Amino acid sequence: MATPRERVLRVLGGMRPDAVPWFGDLDYWATALIGRGMKPPDFKESGAYIDWHRNLGVGFYLQGYFPFRMIFDGCRVEERREGPDRIRRIATPRGELCERWRWMPESFAEAPVDRLLKTASDLPAYIWLHRHLRYEPEYAFAERRLAQVGETGIVLAYLPKSPLMQMVALDAGICAVVAMKADAPAAFEDALAVVDESHGRAAAIALASPAEALMIPENLSSEVVGPALYEAHMRLYHKTWTARIRAAGKRSFIHLDGTLRGLLGRVASAGFEVVEAMTPSPVGDLGVSGWAAFDPSGKVVFWGGLPGVYFTDLVPDAEFERHVKAVLAVMRREPRYVLGVADQVPPDGLEVRVRRVGDLVEEFGRY
């Protein structure tokens, strides 16, 4: 039986392995296990984390790792905790920015209460901040992972998000982005241009990292960012960096974990080798059998297929088995698919379900 690494490298190379590769993002599940005291605090950084994947029969690839550190020059940054809240205040010569994120123990996650960028009046400070950001390499973790992972998978690191998705997903939210674009279009475009230059400096550092694959972690969903915003503000960033990733001899990934129809064809034509965390119906808006039609080239690898909720007891065992078999029936037709979690095994995930996927791959996932 081939290893997870052998299988995925053959698919990424356009060749057929013995069976469909099975890779899962277990980070969120691990966070919950650590929070419940069931795993040690340093679990996710340790070799034991890779052993856990190996013992569960899951290929390893994702770790949320940016191989650079960000340094704030010429401004005052204050970070503090206030109960469940994480507060960051950044004072620049052009104004002050403040964000508040709240930890929710029930879900082992945090969510924004106040975003860093709220209205167009914050754009001068935001522009100043990004003009003066510095980045330095931080490669030690990637080097350590290369030694840990072995045949269990591949080592992947992140580039920065595109400037638009930095705002949409993290710094402002879609409502504020749309308002700023309407209220102050020139300042909004200036901000995107400055962030693009800033992120380009960070991306160049990521490109030189020891990671074998690089992802632009966009967290895209077609009902939030549609074709118009994509073409106006994202395609160029994607085409630029996929070309540079390819020239560096690495694999390019994009994280598209929401609704697919509006954007799948567009990101598939932007140069990415892999579209990752793809969520199919009945949770998403497009069945696995419909994915290939959005890439006439036949070259893009589609990675996903198993919605996170299917790893919980909210979905009956019979439906879980039916869905995994149906997805494998599509994926084993041609070697352009990787079976993956869309997008993470959740905190209430069941170990028996994770293990079962590997068994089903061996039985029903052979080409």
- Tens-place pLDDT, residues 241-251: 999 999 999 99
- Tens-place pLDDT, residues 182-238: 999 999 999 999 999 999 999 999 999 999 999 999 999 999 999 999 999 999 999
pLDDT surpassing 90 at residue 338: yes
pLDDT value for 1 = 84
Cα(350)–Cα(344) distance, integer angstroms: 12
pLDDT surpassing 90 at residue 66: yes
pLDDT value for 234 = 98
Q: How many helices and strands in the chain, by DSSP H and E?
A: 13, 13
Cα(163)–Cα(234) distance, integer angstroms: 8
pLDDT surpassing 90 at residue 57: yes
Give mean pLDDT, residues 149-167: 98
Tell which residue, 333, 309, 334, 336, has the closest CA to residue 323.
309
DSSP string, 128-166: HHHHTEEEEE--HHHHHHHHHHGGGB--EEEPPPPHHHI
Give mean pLDDT, residues 98-117: 97
Tell which residue, 207, 280, 279, 275, has the closest CA to residue 247.
207
User: Which pTM does this prediction carry?
Assistant: 0.97
Q: Are 354 and 24 in contact (CB under 8 A)?
A: yes
Band the pLDDT of 144: cuts 50, 70, 90: very high
Tell which residue, 292, 258, 279, 263, has the closest CA to residue 323.
279
**Which percentage of the chain shows pLDDT scores above 90?**
99
